[in-house]
């Protein structure tokens, strides 16, 4: 659908196609606005992870996700440790593993021992 492999990021044109494929009929100006908004790292290129965040935002509404993340992040350090992840297991209806060690293994993609917000969004993609 869009080129991730070759360039490693998504151009504004790719992004337009993605929005189209989601059923939108955005104007050029809207696409540019959204593209800038989703360019989280602010370097003029939207990476796949950023787009993933954008797409989940559209699907679920980021406010809810942020609230969920913050409510789990008890010590407010912006990432979920093993104890905090245990909370996901009790509050989430998603099938994400049977214990917090499992979750870490599956979703801690940079292996720092924590699930940060981006990793958390991937977790939420799992149903």
In the complex, the residues that contact Ca ion under the rule CB under 5 A are 73, 75, 77, 108, 110, 112, 114
Q: Which is nearer to Ca ion, 13 or 112 (CB)?
A: 112
107 within 8 A of 122, measured Cβ to Cβ: yes
Q: Which is nearer to Ca ion, 35 or 120 (CB)?
A: 120
Q: Measure the N-to-C terminal CA separation of the chain; round to a whole number of Å.
A: 22
Q: Which is nearer to Ca ion, 21 or 71 (CB)?
A: 71
User: Strand pairing partners for 68?
Assistant: none
Q: Which is nearer to Ca ion, 102 or 110 (CB)?
A: 110
Residue 55 tokens read as 């797409």
CB of 76 to Ca ion, least distance (A): 7
CB of 16 to Ca ion, least distance (A): 31
8 within 8 A of 47, measured Cβ to Cβ: yes
CB of 38 to Ca ion, least distance (A): 21
Residue 38 tokens read as 């989703």
CB of 120 to Ca ion, least distance (A): 9
Residue 103 carries which DSSP code?
Answer: H
């Amino acid at each position: 659908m869009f080129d991730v492999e070759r360039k490693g990021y998504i151009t504004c044109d790719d992004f337009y196609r993605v929005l189209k494929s989601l059923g939108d009929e955005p104007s050029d100006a809207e696409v540019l606005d959204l593209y800038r908004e989703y360019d989280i790292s602010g370097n003029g290129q939207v990476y796949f992870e950023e787009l993933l965040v954008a797409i989940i935002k559209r699907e679920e509404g980021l406010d809810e996700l942020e609230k969920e993340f913050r409510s789990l992040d008890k010590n407010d350090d912006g990432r979920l440790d093993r104890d905090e992840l245990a909370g996901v297991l009790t509050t989430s209806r998603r099938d994400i593993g049977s214990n917090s060690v499992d979750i870490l293994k599956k979703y801690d993609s940079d292996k720092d021992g924590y699930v940060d917000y981006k990793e958390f969004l991937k977790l939420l993609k799992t149903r």
